[in-house]
Structure 1
């Protein structure tokens, strides 16, 4: 059975995409820690990041670097945090979030009812920052 993320990738569920290439996608989470909280997800399903091959892991981290630069440009936080938790959905995904303090990475503080317009604006800001940086994988899918 396809994971929730595969259904988003396949277009069966909506997603606010900021990146797409042949290996992975990135889209905003519907329960953000901070504005612009983005998930980088391989197209192939792996439950645990330790099971992913080295070339896939390397590609995901290159994409994380590109998107983190865009988040940094769009939000100008103290840092852009990166986390692999993997307990929420059994499909490898990397969290990227603008952070100003360690508590910004506490999942107890997610926004469970974010404003849809704010999510759309965040995706737009990140896509524009990616374009400004000359990134190749900017998604045309909203």
Structure 2
């Protein structure tokens, strides 16, 4: 049975996408711990991150690094925290969370809620930062 993430990849379920490649997708978490909380996933449905083959695993990490740099530019924060828990959805994923203090990564605290307009604006800011990065490299 396809996971919710597979349904996002196929377009069955909408998402606030911030980056996409042939193998990977990054989109805003709909139950975020902070503005700019992004999930980065492989398009291949694999439950456990460490069950990905080496090429896909390293590609996912590099993709996450690119997205994290854009988040840092788009959302005021000291750092972008990284978490891999993997219990919520049986599809490998990486949480990228803008943080200003350790408690910002506390998954037990209440999640934030943003309007669709706020989510769209945050996604747009991250996408714009990604484009600036690629333009600066050219």
User: Same fold by TM-score, threshold 0.5 exceeded?
Assistant: yes
Matched, 1:109 2:105: no
CA distance in 2, matches of 1:110, 1:9: 27
Distance 1:64 1:72 in 2: 12
**Aligned-residue RMSD, C-alpha:** 1.2
Q: Which residue of 2 aligns with 1:139?
A: none
Shift, 1:129, TM fit: 0.3
Q: Which residue number corresponds to residue 83 of structure 2?
A: 83
Instruction: Flag as ranges the 4+ runs of structure 1 deviating above 4 A.
Output: none
TM-score norm. by structure 1 comes to: 0.91
1: distance between equivalents of 2:46 and 2:36? 24
How high is the TM-score relative to the length of structure 2?
Answer: 0.93
CA contact (8 A) 1:37 1:97 kept: yes
* 1:25-81: CA deviation from partner (whole Å, max 9, x where unpaired): 111110011001100010111111111111111101111111110011112311100
Gaps of 5+ in 2: none
Contact 2:34-2:97 at 8 Å conserved across structures: yes
Match of 1:129 in 2: 129
Return the alpha-carbon distance in structure 2 between the equivalents of residues 88 and 37 of structure 1. Answer: 15
Q: 1:89 to 1:8 in 2, by over 3 A?
A: same
Asked if structure 2 preserves the Cα contact closer than 8 Å seen for 1:37 and 1:95, the reply is: yes
Task: Report how far residue 102 of structure 1 moved.
Answer: 0.9
Q: Which runs of 5+ in 1 are unaligned?
A: 136-142
Count of aligned positions: 135
Aligned to 1:15: 15
Cα offset, 1:112, TM superposition: 5.2
The answer as to whether partners of 1:31 and 1:110 remain within 8 angstroms in 2 is no
